[in-house]
Amino acid sequence: MLKVGLNLESVGTKTTQLASLVYTLVKFELIRRDAYSRWRKYLNEVGLRLQGLISYMNVLYDDDQLIYSLKSYYYKSVTPDYDKLALLREANELLETLKEKVEKMKLLSEFQVQSIRNIVPPQT
């Protein structure tokens, strides 16, 4: 009898990777809004717990499709009888989407925002 085994990453590992990317996006957005210093305590309390990070993302982002996909993945991942292989495929798709978003945020953060001052001409 021949047994074939698959070497799969665990769902927990993928969930941690997803949480790390969501954390990065939330942190970038808070920094962009100059609100990170006020939110840092709350962000640190949530840590890499995906459910809490999705809640913060829901407040900060308008990407309803991505937020829905993340919520759907999260609830499937905590369902014991859900097909783990299908869940890993879904996680890989979400990872690619999040990596693209992080890269876009990194690119945007490279541009410095110039402050505009009112220049008063010298009075003669």
Asked whether residue 109 is domain-assigned, the answer is no
On whether residue 116 sits in a domain, the answer given is no
Tell me whether residue 121 is in a domain.
no
Q: How many CB atoms lie within 10 A of CB 26?
A: 23
Domain count across the chain = 1
Residue 111: the pLDDT is 56
> Running along the chain, 124 residues long, what does each successive block of 10 average in pLDDT?
52 92 93 91 93 93 93 93 92 95 81 48 59
pTM for this predicted structure: 0.78
Q: Residue 34 — left, alpha, or beta (φ > 0 → left; ψ -120 to 50 → alpha)?
A: left
Is position 113 within any domain?
Answer: no
Per-residue pLDDT tens over the stretch 20-49:
999 999 999 899 888 999 999 999 999 999
Q: Are 91 and 11 in contact (CB under 8 A)?
A: yes
Q: Is 22 domain-assigned?
A: yes
Domain span holding position 58:
11-102
Instruction: Please report the pLDDT score of residue 87 as a whole number.
Output: 93
Q: Is residue 118 part of a domain?
A: no
Residue 47 burial class via C-beta count within 10 angstroms: exposed 0-12, middle 13-18, buried 19 and up: exposed
